[in-house]
Amino acid sequence: MSRLGKKPIIIPDDVKVNLENNTLKVSGPKGNLEFKVKLDAKIEITDNKVQIISHRKDKFSKSLYGLTRTLLKNMIIGVKDGFSKELELVGVGYRAQLEGTNKLILNEGFSHPIIIEALNGIELKVEKNKIIVLGIDKQKVGQMAAKIRAIKKPEPYKGKGIKYSDEVIKRKAGKVVVKTEEAKE
């Protein structure tokens, strides 16, 4: 069993959690999220806590036990505060601009600009050389950020490309000319 799955989740005052027909519905100030529970477990919702209690001991149920708790906790955090990922553009002439609220136009050194449409429920912001992806669903925010980064991943020599703001790129040394004894003579 997951030790993390046994911990109760504290529900903030401005968030509501309901369970209807194996579907968890979470609503808060930022929006609403739903999750279909695939786990045969008892979900207890008390005043301000949610507890997941699993009775089955098979491998599939054990694997979903901690995952279900984590997904529910992320939903509660998402509808209360939201999630964000920040990407940086590194390189001369690399630019990003927004067209409307959900279209991102990238100039990344290709012969044509690349147009990306935001996923449903995702908001994009551009500030100088930074792209900020905002949303209430953690999975969608990460997926959108990965989709943008995949266009031009940072290369290891100069670090040019699109990278996460907290990502560390291992740099490689360029070509080095080695002088040998024969070349000196």
Segments forming the whole domain that contains residue 21: 3-80
Inside any domain, residue 54: yes
Q: What's the domain count of the chain?
A: 2
> What are the pLDDT digits (tens) for 82-133?
999 999 999 898 999 999 878 999 998 889 999 999 999 999 999 989 999 9
> What are the pLDDT digits (tens) for 123-141?
999 998 999 999 999 999 9
- Statement to judge: residues 67 and 120 lie in one domain: no
- Statement to judge: residues 70 and 99 lie in one domain: no
- Statement to judge: residues 155 and 125 lie in one domain: yes
Inside any domain, residue 169: no
Mean confidence (pLDDT) of the chain? 89
Q: In angstroms, rounded to a whole number, what is the distance separating the alpha carbons of residues 25 and 50?
A: 12
- Statement to judge: residues 59 and 119 lie in one domain: no
- Statement to judge: residues 65 and 119 lie in one domain: no
- The residue out of 18, 50, 80 marking a domain boundary is 80
Q: Determine contact, residues 12/25, Cβ cutoff 8 Å.
A: no
Catalogue the E-assigned strands of 70-170. 83-90, 95-99, 103-107, 114-117, 122-127, 130-135, 161-164
- Statement to judge: residues 43 and 101 lie in one domain: no
Inside any domain, residue 170: no
CA 140 to chain centroid = 6
Q: Determine contact, residues 86/95, Cβ cutoff 8 Å.
A: no
CATH of the domain at 31: 3.90.930.12
Quote the pTM value. 0.84
